[in-house]
Amino acid sequence: MEPDRRPHVVIVGAGFAGLEAAKLLGRRDDVRVTVVDRRNHHLFQPLVYQVATAALDPSDVAAPIRAVLRRARNTEVVLAEVSAIDRAGRTVQFADGDSVDYDHLIVATGAQDNYFGHPDWAEYAPGMKSIEDALEVRRRVLFAFEEAEREKDEARRRAWMTFVIIGGGPTGVELAGSLSEMAHRALPRDFRHIDTHSARIILVEGLDRLLPAYSERLSARAKRVLEKLQIQVRLGTRVTAIDDEAVFLGSERIETRTVLWGAGVSPSPLGKMLSGPVNRAGQVEVTPELTLPGDPRVYVVGDLAAVSQDGQQVPGLAPAAMQMGRSAARNILRRVNGKPVEPFRYLDKGSFAVIGRGAAVGSIFSKLEVSGLIAWFIWATVHLLYLVGFRSRIAVMFTWLYSYLTWRRVARLITFSPWLRRWESAGRAGQSAATGRGSVPAASAAPVPVHAAPER
C-alpha cells in the first residue's frame, strides 16, 4: 500500500474549537486528520452545571468523539495524553511513548480551574471542567442532604445544609440558581427529618457585582433574582482559607461541608510546550491568523489563545472557540491549496446566563439586552441547537419539559468516590470537630479575590 501523501493535520483537543475544526476538515479529501484527546468524549460545557445539580444525565451533555466524526473517512481519533510537542521535528509525543507527525497542528486544549495559587483548595472545592468534576459536585450536594437527614446535632446539621459557591460569573450564578431550585422545589417531599427549604446557599464574588462581563443593569437584575431564590449574595468578598468543615471569608468562618468552585479558569498547561509568547494569564499570543508567531503551521485556538480584536480580547465563550476552530481549519485548507490565509474575525452573537426557571439575562449581538422569560427561552433554544447529536437534543428537551412540569430532578444518584470513602471512614460526619479540624490554618495565605474570568 502506498503511503498517504496528503497533508496531515493533527488536532489536539476535542472541545468546541477542536471539534469544529475536525468536522470542517473531515469533509475534505485533500487532507488527512488525526484528533487527539485524553478523553473519548466531547463535553458540552455550558450545561455541565445541570449534571452537577442532578437536572441532566452525563450522557446528555457528552458525546463520543468517534461517533461525532463517524462519517469523516479521512479522520482518525487517538485516545492519548500529549506529553510534548516538538515543533522542529513536527511531532506530537504522547505520555505512553507513542507519537504522531504533523504537517499542520491545531492546539485546542482549553482551560482548567484556576485556584489562584491555592491548588490544595481543589480537594475541598471542586470545579466543573469535566464530567468527573460534575459528578463529584453532584455527589457532594446529594450526600450533604443525606447526612443532614441523619444528623442529630443541630449545629452539624446546619453545616451540612450550608452550600458556599465561590465565583459570581456565569458558572457560579447558574449553579446557585439550580441548587436553590433543587432544595426548594425538587427535594422537600423526599426527606422526613429535614426541611430542605432551610438550605442556606451563599454565592461569593470578589468584585462589586455579579456577571462582570455583562452590563451593570443585567448584573443587578441577576442579583435581585438570586436573592428572590433565597440565595445570599456576598459581593466584594475575599476567600482566605478552605478546609473540610468551613470556608473563611476574611475573619468570618462559615461552617459548611460543601464548597463549590466557579471562580474562573486558567489556560491548559499544554500551551507552555509550544515555547511561544504568552500573556499574564498564561494564554498563548497568536497572530491575527491564529498561528504561533514564527510558525505558520501551528494554530492555537479556543481558551488557550489570546486573541485581540478592535482593542479588546475575544471572550472565552463557546461560540468564539467554535469560530476560531473553523477559521483555523479554513486557513489550513487555503495554505494546502496555495491560497492566502485570512485573519480571524469574531462575530459576537451574544451571550446568556440562566438564573432559574423562566429567569435569565443576556444580550444579542452585544446591543440588545434581554432578561426574564424571553431571555430564558432564547437561552434554552440556543443551547438545544448547539448540543452535539440528535439524541442529546431530544433527551435534553424532554428532560427539561418533564422537570418544568414536575420540578423533579432525574439524575439523583450518589456514586462512589475517594472523598465519600474519606467521610465514611471517619465514622459519623462531623465527629472530626472533636479533633480540632476546621480551624483557621496557622499559615493562612493572603486573601484571594475570587471572581469569574471569561469562561465557557
Domains along the chain with CATH numbers: 8-38+80-113+265-336 (3.50.50.60), 121-263+416-449 (3.50.50.100)
Annotated active-site residue in 20, 147, 151, 174: 174
pLDDT the model gives residue 410: 84
Residue 42 contacts residue 66 (beta carbons within 8 Å):
no
pLDDT the model gives residue 4: 81
- Nearest Cα to Cα of residue 260 among 158, 420, 138: 138
pLDDT the model gives residue 426: 65
Three-state DSSP class for residue 269: helix
Q: How far apart are CA 194 and CA 215, in angstroms?
A: 39
pLDDT the model gives residue 434: 44
pLDDT the model gives residue 450: 56
pLDDT the model gives residue 432: 47
pLDDT the model gives residue 441: 45
DSSP state of 143: H
Cα diameter, the chain: 75
- Nearest Cα to Cα of residue 453 among 114, 226, 128, 52: 114
pLDDT the model gives residue 448: 57
Give pLDDT < 70 ranges for the chain.
Answer: 1, 421, 423-456
Quote the pTM value: 0.90
151 noted as active-site residue: no
